[in-house]
Amino acid sequence: MIHNKETDKYYWPAVLDDVCWETCWKGQPGKLTFKVVKDEALDFHEGDVVQANYGGVNFFYGYVFAQKHSKDNVIDVTAYDQMRYLKNKDTYNFVNLTAGEEIRRIAEDFQLQVGELIDTGYTIPKFRGANKTLMDIMQSLLDMTTENTGRLYVLYDDFGKLTVKDLEAMKIDLLIDAETAEDFAYETSIDKDTYNRIKLYYDNKDTGKRDVWMAVNSADIKRWGVLQLTESVNPQKAMNFGQMADMKLKMYDRVKRTLTIKNAFGDLRVRGGSMLYINLRLGDQTLTKRIIVENVKHTLTQGHHTMDLTVKGDVITG
């Protein structure tokens, strides 16, 4: 359904081909793309409201952002949910507020509708975000909260309302296996973001020497050769750089694994940030775990619903 806000008219246009709905866990707005037939009655413009329903389930509320017209009177429409407005940039300073309180203030400043914002229970002592996107600011607030609570959070648009939930609240009772997924692509690699030797350094002006902190996994060097990450550090920060090197080694000294599932049976409960079960026999192991959906694309075609997912969790590093 499309609502022309200027004339207050509603349209239910004939939709051609696929309707595609895409969402991500972090950093991107929800996106709906579809094609409609232009007739004499149909009249809508950029900024008009788009609502999508499938099988009695409302799953998308957003706004027209782009149209592409063809000589065959077909319009290719791209709509985004409210998260698209979080690409705006601004500067914010907050003191002694929770992430939810700060997100609510930002939303009010930009006339965005707000739904459930979980009370994380953690007050952020001080935050400054200068000339950053609202998306980056909000995600930074949630990341800071995660560092202090150990909990992961999901920021998304829930049919027209900005929502923040604990990742645990995003669990759904759904299993994807060889019967419900047509195919998958599983990749293992040490070609990018894999390091078995960490070198942190600081050029000490007082001594005229370079201070160095190292963390090494000799066994993996023997297997893969030397893969070194070298970074400079700031001594003004009260930090144990030896411990930092150990933490980075733990983070990066692994085989990077990615998993994309193709043409699984569709379920509109699945969105970026959802958690579901996977039971698949991969190339080097069998994965039977609950994992996180990083991004998902739903394809709806004349009663047929499939989805492509990229997932993360357990051995799947993303």
Spatial CA neighbour of 95 closest among 131, 121, 124: 124
Q: What is the CATH number of domain 85-167?
A: 3.55.50.10
User: Taking the CA of residue 154 as centre, how many other CA atoms within 13 Å lie in the half-sphere pointing to its CB?
Assistant: 22
| Residue 148 confidence (pLDDT) | 85
Which tokens belong to 64?
A: 């027209």
For tokens 């090197």, the residue is: 245
**Radius of gyration of the chain from Cα atoms?**
23
| Residue 239 confidence (pLDDT) | 67
| Residue 238 confidence (pLDDT) | 52
| Residue 274 confidence (pLDDT) | 97
CB 156 within 8 A of CB 116: no
Backbone φ, ψ for residue 103 (5° rounding) = -65, -40
| Residue 7 confidence (pLDDT) | 95
| Residue 76 confidence (pLDDT) | 97
Between CA 9 and CA 7 the distance in angstroms is: 5
DSSP per residue over the chain, as a string?
-EEETTTTEEE-PPEEEEEEEEEESSS---EEEEEEE--SS----TT-EEEEEETTEEEEEEEEEEEEE-TTSEEEEEEE-GGGGGG-EEEEEEEEEEHHHHHHHHHHHTT--EEEE---S-EEEEEEEEEEEHHHHHHHHHHHHHHHH---EEEEESSSSEEEEEGGGGEEEEEEETTTEEEEEEEEESSSS--SEEEEEEEETTTTEEEEEEEE-HHHHHHH---EEEEE--TTS---HHHHHHHHHHHHSS-EEEEEEEEEEP-TT--TT-EEEEEEE-SS-EEEEEEEEEEEEEEEETTEEEEEEEEEBTTB--
Residues of the chain with pLDDT under 50: none
List the domain boundaries for the chain. Answer: 2-80, 85-167, 178-189+256-312, 197-252
Residue 93: burial class (beta carbons within 10 Å; 0-12, 13-18, 19+): exposed
pLDDT in tens, 234-269: 877 656 889 889 989 998 999 999 999 999 999 999
| Residue 261 confidence (pLDDT) | 95
Which tokens belong to 292?
A: 């996180």
Backbone φ, ψ for residue 40 (5° rounding) = -65, -30
Neighbours of 264 (CB within 10 A): 22
Spatial CA neighbour of 255 closest among 172, 193, 182: 193
| Residue 237 confidence (pLDDT) | 61
| 134-149 vs 99-109: helix crossing angle, rounded to 10 | 170
pLDDT in tens, 49-78: 999 999 999 999 999 999 999 999 999 999
